[in-house]
Amino acid sequence: MRTMRTSYSALDTFKQCPQKFKFSVIDKIKAPKSPEAAFGSVVHAALKLMFSRDPVFPTLEEVWAYFDENWKISAVKLPNFGENLAELYKKSGREILKNFYRTNPPWNFSVVDTESRFELPLADGDGKTHVLAGIIDRIDKIGDGEYEIIDYKTNRRLPSQESVNENLQMSIYHMALKRRWPDTDPAKIKLSLYFLKHNEKLSAQKTGADIEATKEAVLKTIRAIEISVEKNDFQPMPSKLCDYCAYKPICPAWRHLYKKAEQNFDEAKLQETLKEYFEIKSVASKNEDRLAELQGIIKSYMEANKLDRVFDERGYYISKKLQQRFKYDFDKIKEILTAAGLEKEWQSILEADDKKLKAILNTLPYPVRQEILNQKILSKEFVVLTSSAKPVKS
């Protein structure tokens, strides 16, 4: 594969769901913005305006007016988005901006840049240099040679401090700022996530080891993308996030539920098979042989139609999942733990037992944990069918 140009959002999409990555990045299928994404964009634009003038900054009323105008334009473009819902979002946006303005009057900050674009080259060790591009919401100068990177978040959930400490996006921004100003002391770069709905800011700092772990994590994801491209294999990963995905009707994990065409013989046969499958599965394990036969029919149908999920008429579904088994290279694990001065931990897993390694994994420092996880070796993979008797709606 050629040198890759990518972004944190693309890498995050791949890790969240390779099939969604294929639709959006490889196939370039345009999807309408969700209300949440459109709302976030308009709030970000209003915050940029808030810090755009110096020394006469905009008043809160001017910021509100700017937000109202842009939200009105964005809301009209959202499908099936009524006036009542648009008004609720508008009120929420105004409340966010009011609280933020009162807590963070713009004249109190030395803002170096807003919506700062960057391109970060990353050499992969195989002679290729990939480019990681992105936009940093805001950069402040907070002292002599000290900077704060601020990323605004409009989601409701307030994460733990640990997840902020390990946030990959902010680590990438740290690397980008260091490249922009190479003489900056890495310890003098503060990374902050500002959760606007809570009016709370959570901050972290990074060590040299953290940044090296970030580089490796990014390159590992890039390598995984390269393998998926070579094999043309992008597995869907169904989750609660599917309900917010614009590609759901065309995804192999969901497409069967949205099928509107007249049923042909194969489809009728599938519905009959699915009905019998769930009836037998709910009664007793003595019918295992028949279940295996039904699974064979269902697997054949799914493979022939390139589907990862099939649904019966009630909304019950069967999923095809690729299961993998990994093992660790314990010679390398020993080297990693010994080099980190963790001989005691190595002694606790001398029998080279995966369960023992998993038991201590979460107790290890983050860079060491990531280095160990990178040593996983695929030992086995196989496809299984899983079923759910809890109906879903399209």
Q: Look up the CATH number of the domain holding residue 162.
A: 3.90.320.10
Residue 123: beta bridge partners?
Answer: 129
Same-domain status, 117 and 134 = yes
> Which pair of structure tokens corresponds to residue 129?
């240099």
CA distance linking residue 235 with residue 202, whole number of Å: 34
As to burial, measured by CB atoms within 10 angstroms (0-12 exposed, 13-18 middle, 19+ buried), residue 330 is middle
Q: Looking at this protein, which amino acid is placed at residue 246?
A: A
In degrees, to the nearest 5, what angle opens at C-alpha 8 toward C-alphas 19 and 174? 160
Same-domain status, 133 and 208 = yes
Residue 311: beta bridge partners?
Answer: 317
* 88 is a domain residue: yes
The domain boundary, picked from 54, 86, 105, lies at 105
pLDDT of residue 394: 62
Which residues span the domain enclosing 57? 27-105
pLDDT of residue 265: 60
pLDDT of residue 284: 61
Pairing of strands 146-153, 189-195: parallel
Phi (first) and psi of residue 110, to 5 degrees: -100, 90
pLDDT of residue 98: 97
* 348 is a domain residue: yes
> Which pair of structure tokens corresponds to residue 183?
């003489």
Report the Cα 225 to chain-centroid distance in Å.
Answer: 14
Provide the 3-class DSSP secondary structure of residue 28.
coil
Residue 377: beta bridge partners?
Answer: 327
Q: Which residues of the chain have pLDDT under 50?
A: 261-262
User: Are 33 and 41 contacting, i.e. CB atoms less than 8 angstroms apart?
Assistant: yes
Return the number of other C-beta atoms located less than 10 Å from residue 3's C-beta: 13
pLDDT of residue 393: 65
* 4 is a domain residue: no
Same-domain status, 39 and 138 = no
Number of separate domains in the chain: 4
Same-domain status, 128 and 171 = yes
Same-domain status, 281 and 345 = no
pLDDT of residue 327: 79
Angle 35-50/83-103 helices, nearest 10 degrees?
30
Q: Looking at this protein, which amino acid is placed at residue 103?
A: T
pTM for this prediction: 0.73
* 15 is a domain residue: no
Q: Which residues of 264-288 are buried (b: 16+ CB within 10 A; e: fewer)?
A: eeebeebbebbebbbebbeeeeebe
Same-domain status, 86 and 162 = no
pLDDT of residue 174: 96
CA torsion, ordered 70, 76, 82, 87, to nearest 10 deg:
10
Same-domain status, 38 and 124 = no
CA distance linking residue 118 with residue 173, whole number of Å: 9
pLDDT of residue 323: 78
Please list the alpha-helical segments (H only) found in 181-264.
208-231
* 11 is a domain residue: no
Q: How would you classify residue 145: left for phi > 0, otherwise alpha for psi between -120 and 50, otherwise beta?
A: left
Please list the alpha-helical segments (H only) found in 167-322.
168-180, 208-231, 265-283, 288-304
* 186 is a domain residue: yes
Return the number of other C-beta atoms located less than 10 Å from residue 72's C-beta: 12
Same-domain status, 259 and 318 = yes
* 344 is a domain residue: yes
* 394 is a domain residue: no
The domain boundary, picked from 78, 105, 132, lies at 105
Same-domain status, 166 and 143 = yes
Same-domain status, 55 and 161 = no
Across the chain, how many H-helices and E-strands are there? 14, 9
**Helix (H) or strand (E) segment spanning residue 192:** strand 189-195
Please list the alpha-helical segments (H only) found in 25-59.
35-50
**First-last CA distance in the chain:** 37
Same-domain status, 142 and 178 = yes
pLDDT of residue 360: 81
User: Are 112 and 139 contacting, i.e. CB atoms less than 8 angstroms apart?
Assistant: yes
Return the number of other C-beta atoms located less than 10 Å from residue 172's C-beta: 23
Same-domain status, 263 and 289 = yes
User: Are 354 and 330 contacting, i.e. CB atoms less than 8 angstroms apart?
Assistant: no
pLDDT of residue 286: 62
